[in-house]
Copies of this chain bind each other. A is one copy, B any other.
Amino acid sequence: MTTPRIPVGIIGASGYSGLELTRLLAAHPHAELRFVASDRWGGERVRDRAGVSGPAGDLLYGPAERAAELSDDCQTVFLATPAEASLKLVPELARDDRLIIDLSGGYRLQRSEGYPLYYGFSHPQPERLRAARFGLPELFRSRLAGARLVANPGCYATSAILPLAPLLRAGLLADEPLVIDAASGTTGAGRKLSEEFSFGEVADDFRAYRILRHQHTPEIVETLAHACGREVRLTFTAHLLPVRRGILTTVYARLAPGIAADQPRRVLCEAYAGEPFVEIARSAEAVGLKSVVGTNRCQIGVAAGDHPSDPGRIVLVSAIDNLVKGAAGQAVQNFNLQHGFDETTGLADLHPAYP
């Protein structure tokens, strides 16, 4: 007897995350892709755009504005849309017997006051916001059970929270502001038509953007505060790398008084011992994009020790694929979790795209 497949739909299927999600769900043994919406590619065949074979490849991209109607039989709907679009779509799509996994930031912040500051709008649905669950399975697996609206974490947020949360929770870090310095490939910015993202501008360049005002900041702050039960101060900076995929995040913290330099790595190893998608590297220098791009993994490394120029400093380095563990792969992991499948289903055979 074979497991029946869950009928699923994707709205926003032509963005980079939506495209990755299309590919992952087309190959997922327990999902049946029934509806894919994209205004950009409306009427085209999924095979021709996503390069997938099988029945999913035969689907045609449908119009986003008729999503509620056309996804009627989908038990899970994935939104790979901008936050503003998700805010409109979620109320239309919400049903008791349906799981919505939203890849935007529209429902990620528990405190709605972050929205005007970082997203430029007041959140119109504060109750729904409180009901949404932040979909980071490694930290919140138990709280995610039965959720009807999962806010899939931001890519930078995933890469910053995973190395920090266990150390904060265990009280290993001093109560000092954290510095989170991250760099992402261009697909992290989405498929925008602007000179800023043309090959001639991005190739061979490197720069910081949205300094002190990046919208992933508040979800990192909230989640870490939740993890350790106290306020957390931090500065997060994003940089644009001349590569297509991958995020590397370097975190600067300080060991709490009396904590030995080798303790943080031990705590991370224990915290993530059973986790199929988190790997504690042998060193912080061993962490790099090419070990994770193409996979749903987060690789984490730790450096600490008697550094004469800044005693007590600890440096954490983490790497993920922004489109997989940072978006579509994590969404599939959340899908698996909610439907009772092994969390690695459809994700285990992904291997590094490199060399």
Question: Is A96 among interface residues, defined by CB-CB distance under 8 A?
Answer: no
Residues from chain B with Cβ under 8 Å of A284 in the complex: 208, 211
Closest approach, in angstroms, between the C-beta of A234 and any C-beta of chain B? 6
Tell me if B313 and A212 are in contact (CB < 8 A): yes
Question: Is A239 among interface residues, defined by CB-CB distance under 8 A?
Answer: yes
Tell me if A289 and B204 are in contact (CB < 8 A): yes
Assembly of this chain: how many copies?
4
Question: Is A307 among interface residues, defined by CB-CB distance under 8 A?
Answer: yes
Interface string of A338-355 (1 = CB under 8 A from B): 000000000011011111
In the bound complex, what is the Cα–Cα distance between A291 and B19 (angstroms)?
13
Interface string of A184-226 (1 = CB under 8 A from B): 0011000111110111111111111111110001100100000
Contact residue among B117, B310, B354 (Cβ-Cβ distance under 8 Å from A204): B354
Question: Is A242 among interface residues, defined by CB-CB distance under 8 A?
Answer: yes
Tell me if A199 and B244 are in contact (CB < 8 A): yes
Chain A interface extent, by class: 35 or more
Tell me if A203 and B252 are in contact (CB < 8 A): no
Do A309 and B199 contact each other (CB < 8 Å), given the known contacts A242-B243, A351-B52?
no
A40 to chain B: closest residue by CB: B195
Contact residue among B194, B237, B250, B319 (Cβ-Cβ distance under 8 Å from A315): B237
Residues from chain B with Cβ under 8 Å of A243 in the complex: 203-206, 242
Given contacts A181-B252, A208-B287, A211-B285, 8 further A-B contacts (CB under 8 A): A53-B276, A191-B198, A205-B246, A205-B354, A206-B243, A207-B289, A211-B303, A233-B310
